[in-house]
Amino acid sequence: MDPAQDSSKVTIADVAREAGVSKGLVSFALNDRPGVSAETRARILQVAGTLGWTPSLRARSLSSKRSFALGFVIARDPEVLGSDPFFTSFIAGVETVLAPEGLALVLSVVPDASTELATYRTLVTDGRVDGVFLSDLRQDDVRIPYLSELGLPAVTLGRPDQLSPFPSVSIDDTNGIRESVRHLAALGHRRIAHVAGSPAMLHGNRRRAAFTAAMRDAGLGDGQVVETDFSISAGADATRRLLRQDQPPTAIVFANDPMAIAGIGVAQELGVSVPDDLSITGFDDIEFARYVYPALTTVGATPMVWGRAAATTLLGLIRTGSADDIELPAARLIIRGSAAAPTSH
Amino acid sequence: MDPAQDSSKVTIADVAREAGVSKGLVSFALNDRPGVSAETRARILQVAGTLGWTPSLRARSLSSKRSFALGFVIARDPEVLGSDPFFTSFIAGVETVLAPEGLALVLSVVPDASTELATYRTLVTDGRVDGVFLSDLRQDDVRIPYLSELGLPAVTLGRPDQLSPFPSVSIDDTNGIRESVRHLAALGHRRIAHVAGSPAMLHGNRRRAAFTAAMRDAGLGDGQVVETDFSISAGADATRRLLRQDQPPTAIVFANDPMAIAGIGVAQELGVSVPDDLSITGFDDIEFARYVYPALTTVGATPMVWGRAAATTLLGLIRTGSADDIELPAARLIIRGSAAAPTSH
DNA sequence: CTGAAAGCGCTTACAG
DNA sequence: CTGAAAGCGCTTACAG
C-alpha cells in the first residue's frame, strides 16, 4: 500500500526480472562497471527508478566487504572537549562530502589513549568503517603504525613527525604565530610570553617553535614559554603565573583561543587591563573570540575546510589506493581589540 | 601467520565444526537464546574463544535486519554549533553505554531542517541505525510523526508538546530559571530582564515561561523579555538593546551560557560594570563559565548524564519494544561572581 | 557484451 | 534439546 514500504521490499532480483537481465548485470550497472552497454545500463537504471529500488547497504557490505562509512575517534577528557569547537565544525565539513556519496560517519568519543586503540581495533574487527580520520597528532604517534598494521586506511590532520603511510591534510599554523609575534613587536612589545600547548602534541610543539623563532627574528630573545595541556584551566593557571612575576610580560601569545579567553579573565581578575597593561592573542578564532571584551586578536583556523579536505583525501585513498598530501592556505592573524601598544612605564 | 589476521577469517562454520554442532546452534549460543543446554553453550563459547571467532557484523546485519548502531542527527548552523559544548559531552555520555555493548554511533551534522528529514530517511532506507536521538525539540515537531511513520525507534531529549510514541529523557530546567530569578530578587534586583532562546524551541519556550512565572511570584511583574535564536551574536545584540534603554535592567537572566558570556562582553564594552551595575546569570555551566571574569553564575546542566540516560532508554526501547520516560534531577543554580546586589542609584 | 551460479557469514523457521 | 536447509540481497569470478 504505502509506496515507501513497498520500495524497501524491492530487490535486485525484481529489477533484473523487470529489465530482462541477470542480477549480475544489474549489479554491474549499479556500480558503473565496464561490461554493460550504454543502452542496457540506461534501461536497467530506468527500471530501478520506476520500481523505486534502493540497493541494500547490508547486502552490499557483506558481499563487497566494504562498510560505506568513515570513522573518527576522539580521545579527550569530555570536559575539556566540550570547550573546543573544532570538532563539530570539522565534522560538519566532513559531512558535506560524505552525504552526497551516501556515506556515513561513525563517531567515538573516548576518555583516554588506550581506549582509543581498542576502539580502532573494534572498528576494524567489526568492519564498521572503510577509513578513519586521525587528529591531534602526537609525537611518534603510536596510532600510525597501529592503524597501518590493522590495514585501515587513514588521513592525518597535520603532517606527522614520523614515517607514515597515510596522506595528510595540513595547514601552516606557524605563520599565524609568526604574524602574532610580529604584530606585537611592531606595536612596541618587548617582553612577550607564550602559553604553549602540550609538548606531546605536534601542533603544540610546532606553535611553540614558531614562537621562539619569531621572537629571535624580532631580536627579542627566546621569549618566556609556559607549557600547558591546551585546557582552559591550564591556560588560566599559566596566565596567573606569568602575571605574578616581578617583570611580567606585556603581551602573551596563547596556543589556542580557550586559553586566551581564560587569560583575559585572569587579567581582569588581577586588575590588569587588557589591552592597556597586557596584550593577548589567541589561536583558532572560535566564535567566542569575537564576543569577549576586548574582542580577541587571534589566528583564523578553518575547521570546516579541513573537514572537507580530509574527507576528500580519505575517500580518494580508499578508492584509488593512494592520495596526495594537501596543504591548506596558511593561517592568518585576525586583528581585533585584545592587542595594542603597551602603555609606557 | 598473524593470529589477528587468522582470527578474522574464522567463521561460524569453523566454530560449529570444531564444537561438533550445527551453525544454527552456534548462533543460538551466541545470541543467548533458549534451546541450548548449559554445557553445550559453554563448550561452544569455549571453542569460539579458542579459535578467536568474532561474529561478522555484516552478516549478522544482513540476516537479522539490525544495524547495531544508533544515530544522532544535529541540525544547526555549524558556526553556531561550534560554540555549544552540549553535544560533545552528550555524545561522550552516549558512548559509555554503547561501547560495552559493541554498538556504534552514526553522527550527522546538517545545516537545516529539511536536510535533517532527508537524512533520517536515508538512515532508515540504508538501515544504518536501529534508533535515533532527537534533540532540540521544537513546537509541534515534525520529526516525531516523521520518524514514527518511518518506523524508526527514537528517544526525545525533553518532553514533547505533542502526542509522541517515543520515550523521553528530560530534566526540569525551569527550576534553574526559578532559582536564578529568586537569587536575583533576594539580592535586591527589581528590574530583571530575560534574554530568551528561540520561541520555536521547547526549551527556549519553557525557560521563558519559567522566567515570567518566577517574576510574578516575586512580585516583580512580567519582566522584560527579548527573544533570540540562542546564538552568541543574538545574545550580544539583545544585551545591547536592553542596556541602551532609558531604564535598563539591573540584572539579566540568559537562556544559555554562550549568550550570557557575550552579554558580559557587551556590558564591558559599554562601560557597564558586572556585577556592580549589571548582574548576569547563564544556563548550562559550560567550561568557559568558570573562566570568564566575573565567573558566571549559571544553572548546571549535565550533558554526559543525559547522554547515558538517553542511550540506556533508547536501547531498552529497541530491545523490549517499550521504555519508560526518565526524569533527571532538576537543574540547580551555581552561584559565582556575575550576580551581586545592585548598587544603589 | 551477457548469464548462471557460487559465495559473503550469519539467522531463522521447520522438522525431528 | 538439536540438525539440515533455506534465506537475507548483494558481488564476483567463471563461462560463453
* pLDDT tens string B144-173: 999 999 999 999 999 999 999 999 999 999
Where does the pLDDT of residue B2 fall: very low under 50, low under 70, confident under 90, or very high at 90 and above?
Answer: very low
* More confidently predicted of B137 and B35: B137
Cβ contacts of A287 on chain B, cutoff 8 Å: 79-80, 82-83, 232, 258
| Range among A30-39, B36-45, B275-284 rated most confident | B275-284
- How far apart are alpha carbons A61 and B297 in whole angstroms? 51
Q: Is the CB of B56 under 7 A from strand C?
A: yes
Give the pLDDT score at B5. 42
CATH level 3 topology of B3-55: 434 Repressor (Amino-terminal Domain) (1.10.260)
Give the pLDDT score at A88. 84
Give the pLDDT score at B33. 84
Residue A8, pLDDT > 60, answer: no
- 3-state secondary structure at position B198: coil
> What is the rounded average pLDDT of the residues B247-265?
97
Of B300, B259, B307, whose CA–CA distance to B89 is shortest? B307
Per-residue buried b or exposed e for B302-322, using 16+ beta carbons within 10 Å of the residue's own CB: bbbbbbbbbbbbbbbbbeeee
> What is the rounded average pLDDT of the residues B199-223?
96
Residue A41, pLDDT > 90, answer: no
Give the pLDDT score at A3. 38
Cβ contacts of B61 on chain A, cutoff 8 Å: 58, 61-62
Residue A341, pLDDT > 90, answer: yes
Where does the pLDDT of residue B122 fall: very low under 50, low under 70, confident under 90, or very high at 90 and above?
Answer: very high
**Closest residue to A85, CB basis, from B67, B83, B269:** B83
Digit-coded pLDDT (tens) for A74-87: 987 765 655 667 88
User: One fold for both B3-55 and B174-301?
Assistant: no
Please name the residues in contact with A57: beta carbons below 8 A apart, sequence gap of 6 or more: A68, B126, B127, B128
Residue A175, pLDDT > 90, answer: yes
Where does the pLDDT of residue B32 fall: very low under 50, low under 70, confident under 90, or very high at 90 and above?
Answer: confident
Smallest Cα distance from B345 to chain A, Å: 25
Give the pLDDT score at A345. 54
Where does the pLDDT of residue A5 fall: very low under 50, low under 70, confident under 90, or very high at 90 and above?
Answer: very low
B262: closest chain A residue by CA: A291
Q: What integer best gives the mean pLDDT of chain B? A: 92
Residue A20, pLDDT > 50, answer: yes
Q: Which three cell numbers stand for residue B14?
A: 569453523
Residue with nearest Cα to nucleotide D11 C1': A63
**A291/B261 Cβ within 8 A:** yes
Q: Is the CB of A60 under 7 A from strand C?
A: no
Q: Is the CB of A12 under 7 A from strand D?
A: yes
Q: What integer best gives the mean pLDDT of chain A? A: 92
Q: Kind of pairing, strands B251-254 and B279-281? A: parallel
Digit-coded pLDDT (tens) for B45-71: 999 999 999 999 999 999 999 999 999
* More confidently predicted of B37 and A116: A116
Give the pLDDT score at B8. 57
What's the 3-state SS for B250-309? CEEEECCHHHHHHHHHHHHHCCCCCCCCCEEECCECCHHHHCCCCCCEEEECCHHHHHHH
B23 within 8 A of B5, measured Cβ to Cβ = no
Radius of gyration of chain B measured on its C-alpha atoms: 26
- How far apart are alpha carbons B60 and B130 in whole angstroms? 13
Give the pLDDT score at A22. 87
* More confidently predicted of B337 and B4: B337
Give the pLDDT score at A1. 33
Which residues, listed in sequence order, are joined to residue B196 by a DSSP beta bridge? B227
**A92/B125 Cβ within 8 A:** no
Please name the residues in contact with A340: beta carbons below 8 A apart, sequence gap of 6 or more: A187, A275, A276, A279
Integer distance in angstroms from CA B99 to C1' D1?
A: 34
**Closest residue to B59, CB basis, from A57, A62, A109:** A62
* Integer CA distances (angstroms), A98 to A86, B103, B137, in order: 18, 21, 26
Residue A272: Cβ-neighbour burial (10 angstroms; 0-12, 13-18, 19+): middle
Confirm or reject CATH 3.40.50.2300 for domain A69-170+303-328, answering yes or no: yes
Digit-coded pLDDT (tens) for B75-94: 877 656 556 678 888 999 99
Integer distance in angstroms from CA B44 to C1' D2?
A: 14
CATH of A174-301, one of 3.30.300.30, 3.90.870.10, 3.40.50.2300, 3.30.70.640: 3.40.50.2300
Cβ contacts of A261 on chain B, cutoff 8 Å: 288, 291-292
Q: Which three cell numbers stand for residue A177?
A: 604565530
- How far apart are alpha carbons B218 and B182 in whole angstroms? 7
Locate the domains of chain A by residue range: 3-55, 69-170+303-328, 174-301
Smallest Cα distance from B218 to chain A, Å: 32
**B82/A86 Cβ within 8 A:** yes
Smallest Cα distance from B60 to chain A, Å: 9
Q: Is the CB of A344 under 7 A from strand D?
A: no
Largest CA distance in chain B: 90
* More confidently predicted of A15 and A313: A313
Residue with nearest Cα to nucleotide C11 C1': B63
Q: Which three cell numbers stand for residue B29?
A: 549460543
- How far apart are alpha carbons B85 and A255 in whole angstroms? 20
Cβ contacts of B78 on chain A, cutoff 8 Å: 88-89, 92-93, 304
Cβ contacts of A258 on chain B, cutoff 8 Å: 287-288
Give the pLDDT score at A4. 39
Give the pLDDT score at A235. 96
**A81/B89 Cβ within 8 A:** yes
* More confidently predicted of A215 and A9: A215
**A86/B88 Cβ within 8 A:** no
Residue A255, pLDDT > 70, answer: yes
Confirm or reject CATH 3.40.50.300 for domain B69-171+303-328, answering yes or no: no
* More confidently predicted of A238 and B5: A238
Digit-coded pLDDT (tens) for B285-322: 998 999 999 999 999 989 999 999 999 999 999 999 99
Residues 19-38 of A with CB under 7 A from strand C: 20-25, 34-37
Q: Is the CB of B61 under 7 A from strand C?
A: no
